[in-house]
């Protein structure tokens, strides 16, 4: 069985390293530091799509909400589940991110490893969903 792939878009190296440490035993993690680079990677004709996106919201050049809007506007990319990772932690922020098309929301800093792993597992696409996409 192949290891599922996560694309992490995170401009803070410490945060990226922490997430890598938390998920690397269970998932293949591909890291990007900005929105345009992951969008370029996803839109290549030969691109192998990830099973899930972990998107920081405060990114240079293109924030995570804009990036997700770009991803959701492309038919081939639309089914990829996405989790918002952000320091924006107001109650209304979660509702706004879900309304913007994210499948889930986690506030940073990530202090509970299990919450991250549970969010990934609950939202990662299954092979049947991917084959239909």
Map out the domains of the chain with their CATH numbers.
5-125 (3.40.50.2300)
DSSP string across 55-92 = EESS-SSS-HHHHHHHHHTSTTTTTS-EEEEES---HH
Using only C-alpha atoms, the chain has a radius of gyration, in whole angstroms, of 14
d(CA 110, CA 120): 13
Do 61 and 35 form a contact (C-beta atoms < 8 A)?
Answer: yes
Q: What is the pTM of this model?
A: 0.90
d(CA 120, CA 102): 12
Do 86 and 40 form a contact (C-beta atoms < 8 A)?
Answer: no
Q: Kindly give the confidence (pLDDT) of every residue in the chain, 133 residues in length, as a single tens digit, with 9 standing for 90 and above.
A: 678 999 999 999 999 999 999 999 999 999 999 999 999 999 998 998 999 999 999 998 899 999 999 999 999 999 999 999 988 667 777 888 889 999 999 988 888 889 999 999 999 965 434 333 3
How high is the pLDDT of residue 130? Answer: 39
How high is the pLDDT of residue 73? Answer: 96
How high is the pLDDT of residue 61? Answer: 85
How high is the pLDDT of residue 126? Answer: 54
d(CA 104, CA 88): 14
């Amino acid at each position: 069985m192949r290891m599922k792939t996560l694309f992490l878009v995170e401009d803070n190296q410490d945060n990226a390293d922490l997430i890598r440490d938390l998920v690397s035993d269970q998932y293949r993690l591909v890291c990007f530091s900005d929105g345009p680079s992951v969008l370029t990677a996803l839109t290549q004709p030969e691109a192998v799509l990830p099973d899930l996106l972990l998107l920081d919201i405060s990114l240079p050049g293109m924030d995570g909400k804009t990036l997700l809007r770009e991803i959701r506007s492309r038919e081939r990319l639309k089914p990829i589940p996405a989790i918002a990772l952000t320091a924006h932690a107001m109650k209304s922020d979660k509702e706004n991110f879900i309304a913007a098309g994210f499948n889930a929301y986690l506030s940073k800093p990530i202090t509970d490893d299990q919450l991250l792993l549970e969010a990934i597992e609950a939202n990662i696409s299954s092979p049947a969903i991917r084959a239909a996409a």
